[in-house]
Structure 1
Amino acid sequence: MKLRLLTGASLLTLSTLLCACSGGSDDATGADGGRSELTVWLMRDSVSAAFQKEFTDGFSKAHPDIDLKIQIQEWDGIGQKVTAALASNDAPDVIEVGNTQVAQYAQSGGLLDLTGKKADLGGDTWLKGLAEPGAWDGKQYGIPYYAANRVVIYRKDLLRQAGVDPAAIKTRDQWIAATKKLNTGDQQGIYLTGQTWYALAGFIWDEGGDLAVRDGGKWKGTLDTPQALAAMEFYKQLQALGKGPKDADEANPPQAEVMAKGKVAQIISVPGGANVIVQHNPALKGKLGFFPVPGKTADKPGAVFTGGSDLVIPAASRHQDAAYTFVKELTGDTWQTKLALAMSYVPNKTSLASAVASDPGAAAMAVGAAQGRATPNTPGWAAVEAENPIKDYMTASLTGGDMKQEATKASAEITRAMNSAS
């Protein structure tokens, strides 16, 4: 799932696919004497133009027998395009997909099983939030590409004035205490809307709960468990230390724009939100810092939703060996390190976290990524997000509704949506 605050998105016409000349796994040859023409779909802003050129030049030098064609796609409408491509005989050879999208594509039978390649790709150190949703029915189809997750963006000057040391905020209790100090007069200690459900998901995971679980072969919503209710209680306490609307999410209005007005000490956002804040208020340049979302205890940061992408190889790829070579290169340590530095992403392996140590936002993100999770790994989850009873439940709980009753109602709606879609 793409965390779109990391980057902007514009609409371009989909490029015409360049296809190979004959069928077969990797025995297709072109008129130029055996070169494989490899078509790769990468998503808008997952790589910069400079990184794409550097990688393409390096890849072509290392693999002169592969003619690499990278085609940039748009996130809007990509699901339908990928579904159509996987069902055709003319699919690209490698596709970047959102990590939570892998299950629905794998279920269709359109992806190549890469389970046997995990050891070769260093799978024992993959980020859990990318690796787990990249698997389906016990097999690995998606190879972790890059990750992004939310952190706390804070005003350095406001915390300093309040006598708050951000480095000392390691637990939820310490976070609440610091935010109370920052919540004075017309200044909001934190701007947190009532429907920032990804943040709630992290708190639920910290409590040992989940959004939904498998029960007897079917999925069951679990917002009404003691763990999930405890998480909502914490969310309610934190949200009250600001003036965020209780009936909207972080995009309505855009929370970075709210913080740019100068009266907000903290928001929960991907680090790219800091760039948006400065764009709207250049006076805040150099005044923004980052720390990981705190956990229940100081020994580990809070759980966060891991957004990002996996790379998949369509079963219909005509150059599966060359496609695997591409995947291995781009997800390998050398290019993962370069990508992380170029794009401020979290590398796909926990062993590469130090690669972004020089980037404060990405470094905070990498710490949280170690506790990253994904939404329930089933094609049916898409139906939940389409209706999103979690948002309605959160608003009802924050505006005087009976939390237990509202959680039971929302859990039933999640159960229905997941199982009807599956």
Structure 2
Amino acid sequence: MRRRLLALLCVSASLLTGCGAVPGIGGSDRQTVTVWLMKDSASRDFLDRFTEDFERDHPDLDLDIRIQEWTGIGGKVQTALEGDGEDGPDVIEVGNTQVPRYVDGNRLLDLTLESVAKWDKDEWLPGLADPGQRRFHQYGIPWYAANRVVIYRKDLFEQAAITAPPRTREEWLTATEKLNSGGNQGIYLAGQDWYTLAGFIWDEGGDLATEDSGRWEGSLDTPAALRGMDFYQRLHSLGAGPADADEEHPPQAGVFAAGKVAQIIAVPGLARAVVQQNPDLDGKLGYFPVPGKVAAKPGAVFIGGSDLVVPRNTDQREGAVAVVAALAGAEWNTDLARTMNYVPNKAKLASAVAGEEGVAAMAAGAAQGRATPSTPEWAAVEADNPIKTYMTKVLGGADPAAEAGRASRKITETLTVSAG
């Protein structure tokens, strides 16, 4: 933020000699743009290179990049947005699905004109761009993405005479069934992996919840959503994943590392944890996008990542917008993707990570990426997630339509109550 002490010095000094003559100031008009970025989103080397380049291109600006912890960040951001702007951030990195929470209260700068005119808005990954939008106004600018792929055992595929990764759902089921033999699980898929389920639902044209005239309602009971759950059941049956737990209970990296699983669905980075636990798997792991209904189009996936926002209370609007433009622009966005093994914010930039097998698979899937329903109340649904309960009951033999109806009503109730 602009240093008000400097402004006061200038006003006082101008009565005698003019601001440019104040000792120690030397006529400098440099302003400081404060940027909050999250821990581990970017390497120190990347930030140093970016800062040097940005300040060289903007001789009137200094960057003050402050690294934040994810734990407790929601409350810290809200406090910053509600303050008077003094010593607060001018640019903030936030999780893509958290942008709707911060849009409420009219505390973010509307960046629609900048995004449309300068930043090729129509080319952004929808899973990053859509949560940053409210009623056709853009508040969150896509920065980077990550999403799930299929991590598989190349040696087990070879033993099963599977010569290439499957590209369609039906091919995937056939291959997984062949792999589900000899004491191996064709796939380890936990029963409550609702992010993966969401992708299958989106592939069918359904959604977790839909909006009509400002009112959100659960939609797991639509025919399209039920088809997505049916495919999940078929895939889940080809392994021994627990019906009553998610992918973290137990952590699926440990299950995969035990050596009796042919596939898991996870972000590519999880492979490092697998190899750390079982070095014998080093060099034996491969990656492919979650297959879709047709070979030409990978399956839909939940896309996580970060957007960049500018608080309305900033007094460094031009500088803040310049920082966002640089970080989200092609040069530094592809640099970040290569440095951190992320997906760039536009599908056309995916070639920047083509040399990394896992990231390339992730980028292919990201083109079909989606985010959770774009309402700030969705966090309340996840806090006591009825989708998990629904999945467990269906995998246990309950009627899918009846259970989907119950879960949808619970989602509607939660979204309505949370909205007040």
Q: One fold, TM greater than 0.5?
A: yes
2:121 corresponds to: 123
State the partner residue of 1:16: none
Q: Partner of 1:391: helix, strand, or coil?
A: helix
CA deviation profile, 1:37-70 (whole Å, cap 9, x unmatched)? 1110001111011211121122122222211011
Query: Which residue of 2 is the match for residue 12 of structure 1?
Result: none
1:57 aligns with 2:39: no
Q: Which residue of 2 aligns with 1:132?
A: 130
Partner AA of 1:57 in structure 2: E
What does 1:205-224 align with in structure 2 at a 5 Å threshold?
205-224=202-221
Is 1:83 matched with 2:67?
Answer: no
Structure 2 gaps of 5+ residues are 12-18
Give the 4+ runs in structure 1 shifted more than 4 A: 27-32
Distance 1:290 1:44 in 2: 27
Q: Aligned equivalents of 2:99 and 2:286: distance in 1?
A: 34
Pairing 1:40-51 to 2, within 5 Å after superposition: 40-51=35-46
Distance in 1 between residues matched to 2:150 and 2:358, nearest whole Å: 9
The RMSD of aligned alpha carbons is 1.6
Could you tell which deviates more after superposition, 192-201 or 209-218?
209-218
Moved more, 210-219 or 283-292: 210-219
Matches within 5 A, 1:158-173: 158-167=156-165, 169-173=166-170
Q: Which has the larger radius of gyration?
A: 2
1:15 is matched with: none
The match for 1:20 is 2
What SS is found at the alignment partner of 2:342? coil
Partner secondary structure for residue 147 of structure 1: strand
The answer to whether the 8 Å contact 1:166/1:291 transfers is no
Q: Measure how far apart 1:165 and its partner are.
A: 2.4
Q: Which amino acid aligns with 2:286?
A: G
Q: Secondary structure at 2:4's aligned position in 1? A: coil
- The 2-side partners of 1:245 and 1:400 are apart by 14
- Aligned sequence identity (%): 58
The one of 290, 293, 308 equivalent to 2:290 is: 293
Whole-Å Cα distance in 2 between the matches of residues 418 and 350 of structure 1? 32
1:269 and 2:266 correspond: yes
The residue that corresponds to 1:415 in the other structure is: 412
* CA distance in structure 1 between the partners assigned to 2:45 and 2:161 by the alignment: 42
Please tell me the residue identity of whatever aligns with 1:151: V
Say if 1:107 and 1:136, in contact at 8 Å, map to a contact too: no
The separation in 1 between residues aligned to 2:257 and 2:31, in whole angstroms, is 50
TM-score, length of structure 1 as denominator length = 0.92
Long gaps (5+) in structure 1: 1-18
* Residues 1:350 and 2:332 aligned together: no
- For 2:144, the equivalent position in structure 1 comes to 146
What SS does the aligned partner of 1:326 have? Answer: helix
Q: Hey, what does 1:11 align to over in structure 2?
A: none
What is the one-letter code of the residue matched to 1:137? R
Are 1:151 and 1:268, in contact at CA under 8 Å, matched by a contact in 2? Answer: yes
TM-score relative to the length of structure 2: 0.93
Residue 279 (structure 1) aligns with: 276
Give the secondary-structure state (helix, strand or coil) at the position aligned to 1:166: coil
Aligned residues: 400
Q: Is 1:322 matched up with 2:304?
A: no
Q: Distance in 2 between matches of 1:147 and 1:103?
A: 17
Alignment partner, residue 387 of structure 2: 390
Distance 1:166 1:256 in 2: 23
